[in-house]
């Protein structure tokens, strides 16, 4: 069942996490200093323990703003007025999900995360006020975790869950395409309230061609077939949806065991965006571009009930300009 978390930890200190209490009981993450800790210790940057590599939304913003190869998609938080949205992000610790959450926070959009491992929220996004960021423990593969209490007040959902197409370490613990991309999506969609204004689902190009070469090779273990089943379940749910079919994902942060890659997120020279329909695009796409497309689609009314594929290529892109994104989505309908 779901457990709500409240973050009260002190930055730059490793966490001592208590076992999860009874369902729905709030958990406080309280830091403890390491042995022989000294505030003047200069070994922080050399420590290999990931708990010392405390990352924050500010760190991501600075990278995206200041990197010469950056999209400059995240501007000063003060540039965005407070939003009435409450966006549930599912898969927030993955490559695209991390960028979605950081960008929502930067936009003053209240976020709620559903994570199998809630400890990652503090590691990735630093200390956030509960009015800004809420975290719940839950696994979409387990219907019992998706208590209606999790969805109270949620206005929009962005789902970025996924696993690898071929057997890998990420399949450990029954984390296969069938369990994640089909059963997990089915469970999530079944639990969502009908009051939602939009559900954005990140899927993949090629899902309609999984029996054709070369897509059949990618689909050897069913990933495209199961993603299509998840798409179809969302289409038939009656919920207002937008589906973003991404090309091969490139650029950090990579979904890896080194969360420090979050700070290196840039789109390099591939900032221009291609959007199509009909599952015709073939290519690559920056994770930054996919994350931005998901957020932009929330507010573009005509994307409701539509499916788009997305690539990124060399050139100047739309950044976070709503008008440019609206034009890109609209142009896709006339191709």
d(CA 144, CA 123): 26
| Long-range contacts from 248-251, C-beta under 8 angstroms, 24+ separation | 248/283, 248/284, 248/285, 249/95, 249/96, 249/284, 249/285, 249/286, 249/287, 249/290, 250/284, 250/285, 250/286, 250/287, 250/312, 251/286, 251/287, 251/288
Per-residue pLDDT of the chain (335 residues; tens, 9 = 90+): 555 544 433 333 333 333 333 343 333 333 333 333 332 232 223 333 333 233 333 333 333 323 333 344 444 455 666 788 999 999 999 989 999 998 898 899 999 999 999 988 888 888 888 889 999 999 999 999 999 999 999 999 999 999 999 999 999 999 999 999 999 999 999 999 999 999 999 999 999 999 999 999 999 999 999 999 999 999 999 999 999 999 999 876 654 333 344 444 555 666 799 999 999 998 999 999 999 999 999 999 999 999 999 999 888 889 899 999 999 999 998 76
Q: How far is CA 16 from CA 30, 59, 133, 202, 312, in A?
A: 6, 23, 20, 34, 41
If DSSP codes are grouped into helix, strand and coil, which group holds residue 188? Answer: helix
Which of 218, 95, 94, 201 has the alpha carbon at shortest distance from 156?
A: 201
Task: Please give the torsion angle defined by the CA atoms of residues 91, 205, 178 and 118, in that order, rounded to the nearest 10 degrees.
Answer: -10
Q: What pTM did the predictor assign?
A: 0.76
User: Which pLDDT value is given to residue 45?
Assistant: 32
Which positions ≥6 away from 278 have C-beta within 8 Å? none
């Amino acid at each position: 069942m779901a457990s709500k978390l409240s973050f009260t930890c002190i930055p730059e200190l490793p966490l001592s996490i208590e076992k999860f209490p009874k369902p729905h009981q709030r958990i406080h993450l309280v830091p403890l200093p390491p042995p022989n800790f000294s505030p003047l210790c200069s070994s922080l940057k050399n420590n290999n323990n990931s708990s010392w590599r405390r990352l924050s939304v500010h760190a991501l913003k600075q990278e995206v703003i200041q990197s010469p190869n950056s999209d400059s998609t995240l501007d000063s938080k003060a540039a965005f007025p407070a939003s009435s949205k409450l966006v549930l992000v599912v898969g927030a610790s993955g490559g695209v999900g991390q960028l979605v959450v950081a960008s929502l926070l930067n936009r003053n959009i209240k976020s709620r995360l559903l994570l199998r491992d809630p400890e990652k929220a503090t590691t990735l996004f630093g200390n956030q006020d509960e009015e800004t960021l809420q975290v719940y423990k839950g696994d979409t593969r387990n219907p019992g975790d998706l208590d209606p209490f999790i969805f109270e007040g949620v206005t929009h959902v962005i789902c970025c869950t996924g696993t690898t197409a071929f057997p890998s370490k990420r399949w450990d613990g029954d984390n296969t395409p069938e369990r994640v991309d089909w059963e997990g999506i089915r469970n999530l969609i079944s639990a969502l309230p009908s009051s939602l204004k939009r559900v954005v689902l990140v899927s993949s190009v090629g899902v309609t061609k999984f029996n054709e070469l070369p897509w059949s090779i990618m689909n050897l273990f069913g990933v495209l077939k199961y993603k299509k089943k998840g798409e179809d379940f969302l289409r038939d749910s009656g919920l207002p949806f937008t589906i973003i079919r991404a090309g091969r994902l490139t650029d950090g942060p990579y979904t890896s065991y080194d969360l420090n890659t979050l700070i290196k997120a840039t789109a390099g020279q591939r900032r221009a965006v291609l959007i199509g329909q009909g599952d015709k695009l073939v290519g690559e796409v920056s994770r930054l571009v996919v994350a931005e497309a998901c957020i932009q689609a929330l507010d573009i009314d005509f994307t409701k009930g539509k499916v788009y594929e997305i690539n990124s290529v060399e050139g100047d892109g739309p950044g976070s300009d709503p008008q440019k994104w609206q034009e890109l989505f609209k142009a896709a309908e006339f191709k």
